[in-house]
Structure 1
């Protein structure tokens, strides 16, 4: 047990130094790069030399980060819808500069071999961002001479859903979601795009890259240079990041894995009121898939209420109604678990084990996935290792306590009386 305790202390110290040193935390180091957005930046040509990429480092990142399965994305064991759009963007980027021919073929093989299965897993319900991005990326790939074909009828369904969205709805984008602006959406005035950028309404590096390629405006170029200088080779899905939010979500992950006792000084909690604004309530109900993370955390925050706390009761009822609408496979099980088992009926130790075994990463969902996809694989691995060591240490303590209790009960004659 001494060895286990030393290992836990070492890992706790390492996490505090690497992730929680308040004056030195690099939030862009916590959040993993987005292959989709990095690919879009790598497509931008140099204004002085149009036959060369403006951000060679981004193109190099794309070349170096294809998974063995032929796709781009973090979830190596279980590719997601996001891997489809990311892979299409990456092979388009490589084709644009006529490099990485083997990588392109592997990427196409992944697209052709896995699209049908991934679409079937959605049970006919596709996130809006995917219904817009996926068809657009297929069309862009074809303009680059890539032969992308599908025999699955679900692909045609995605195209039809995009047509319906563009014709009947105003397009809504969650913060940080993958974005692609077709011709219909590029009817915004250039001044309007610049104003949106200045107001912080455009936070997607891919959208900014596309806007620059279409307009050549220096305001977009300035922002792109800032992104690469700040983030390095691979860029995140959101820029700039809400640094406070990232830190809070890091603490949330620490609590979820059962490590809160080691980081009490770093843990803070916040709760927001939102039900007083009817427009916000209506907007959340209409575009509920963009607010799953917020509603999930609101629901969890209202697990303990007291008589007379009407606002908390209303917030719980509202958040539950939103969560019950969710059917997407990637987070349906998590939501079902939260709604079906009251918090007071759970054992923390077993909850921690459940999260460790499932390697859960909780963060702000937007549509199909995490908008920030908080915590890169490397950081998740560090926290997971600490969680496993901590859980093992606790188990050894519990076993010793149980043995001591058994010994004591025998000495007192309690075991015999019970029998």
Structure 2
């Protein structure tokens, strides 16, 4: 008589417990479609007849979704991402986020406390922010262009160094900042690198002021001459320029550049109702560094009370930020999706310009 197990695969599974050698279950091979799923025999108890339960692992099964279903799910994911992206853009348009400016914070940190013979900072929290936010490279500022050093970072670093030197704090921070500027001094005169507004007047003026304060930059004399020459070239250019915005430009950069381009009354003609110059914390603070002005001080007090230890580049800046966002959306061709928000921003800008 033929062996009934012949030609079939089998396995001996021991029953749980100490009597396993005496009790064994001969498991006949299951049909092929079951064995692919994974067949498990579970025994419950020692004296009762074994109960068998079969479980199938779904993860081993091939996908049964038709191709059009997968394509539909992919399109749905794209729609979800686009909706989330649109919501983020709308949020930025309606309520701009403010980024701290190391440069403007440094100027605010330089403002002396009134009635103290200019011997103490009016905003010590800004001085502390400078001490706590130096990068390991020795610099201050936000690297927006992916470069190790750019002109904005160099200008921010120089301003922070001067602020710390003014109040005789952070000698180690000052040393690291001076070394950073020394390593990257060629960037100052590199015409291929984007310059902030007024850089060729402001940086040389502040650089010269820092030298007069006793700060020693690890640079060559030719570098110093080259930096000061930038200011001379810019002044020559401005002398031959006739434009309606020239006086406003000079007022904007004169105080920060520590150069006498306009007298005090001409500069203060550009003071706004909120006490600021051009809604710029740095330009407003530069006025207070040289002379006291009650409205200007109120403006800075209001900003610091809002932001705490640092200030943004422009405040209030909603309209500036929003208009730049509108310009960006126009350039990339998706402004039609935000027509309601854009119309609201343009209406607000028109009202601001009429004031």
Alignment TM-score, normalising by the size of structure 1: 0.52
Residue 259 of structure 1 deviates from its aligned partner by: 5.1
Residue 6, structure 1, aligned to residue 6, structure 2? no
CA distance in 2, matches of 1:95, 1:193: 27
Residue 43 of structure 1 deviates from its aligned partner by: 1.0
Q: Deviations over 1:104-161 (max 9, x none)?
A: 2221121000111x14531599787222111211122223332114227454233123
| 2:285 aligns with one of 209, 219, 227 | 209
Residue 157, structure 1, aligned to residue 223, structure 2? no
- Secondary structure, aligned partner of 1:150: coil
| 2:114 aligns with one of 47, 51, 58 | 47
Change (3 A) 1:187 1:54: same
The answer for the alignment partner of 1:62 in structure 2 is 130
CA distance in 2, matches of 1:136, 1:97: 20
The answer for the alignment partner of 1:110 in structure 2 is 180
CA distance in 2, matches of 1:198, 1:10: 39
CA distance in 2, matches of 1:89, 1:61: 13
The answer for the alignment partner of 2:327 in structure 1 is 252
Rg larger for: 2
CA distance in 2, matches of 1:63, 1:14: 33
Q: In angstroms, what is the RMSD of aligned CA positions?
A: 3.6
Residue 83 of structure 1 deviates from its aligned partner by: 1.5
Residue 57 of structure 1 deviates from its aligned partner by: 2.6
CA distance in 2, matches of 1:161, 1:15: 40
The answer for the alignment partner of 1:225 in structure 2 is 301
The answer for the alignment partner of 1:138 in structure 2 is 207
- Secondary structure, aligned partner of 1:251: helix
CA distance in 1, matches of 2:230, 2:284: 25
Residue 231 of structure 1 deviates from its aligned partner by: 4.6
The answer for the alignment partner of 2:10 in structure 1 is none
1:325-364 mapped onto 2 (5 Å cutoff): none
CA distance in 2, matches of 1:127, 1:157: 18
Residue 255 of structure 1 deviates from its aligned partner by: 4.7
| 1:147 aligns with one of 216, 220, 231 | 216
Bigger helix share: 1
Change (3 A) 1:202 1:6: same
The answer for the alignment partner of 1:37 in structure 2 is 104
The answer for the alignment partner of 1:363 in structure 2 is none
Change (3 A) 1:13 1:210: closer
CA distance in 2, matches of 1:128, 1:263: 30
| 1:97 aligns with one of 167, 188, 192 | 167
Does the aligned pair in 2 maintain the 1:251–1:266 contact within 8 Å?
no
CA distance in 1, matches of 2:193, 2:256: 22
Change (3 A) 1:127 1:226: closer
Residue 58 of structure 1 deviates from its aligned partner by: 1.9
Change (3 A) 1:219 1:113: same
Aligned length: 260
The answer for the alignment partner of 1:350 in structure 2 is none
CA distance in 1, matches of 2:181, 2:84: 43
Does the aligned pair in 2 maintain the 1:46–1:52 contact within 8 Å?
yes
Does the aligned pair in 2 maintain the 1:212–1:220 contact within 8 Å?
yes
Change (3 A) 1:95 1:13: same
- Secondary structure, aligned partner of 2:270: helix
Alignment TM-score, normalising by the size of structure 2: 0.61
Unaligned runs of 5+ in 1: 272-419
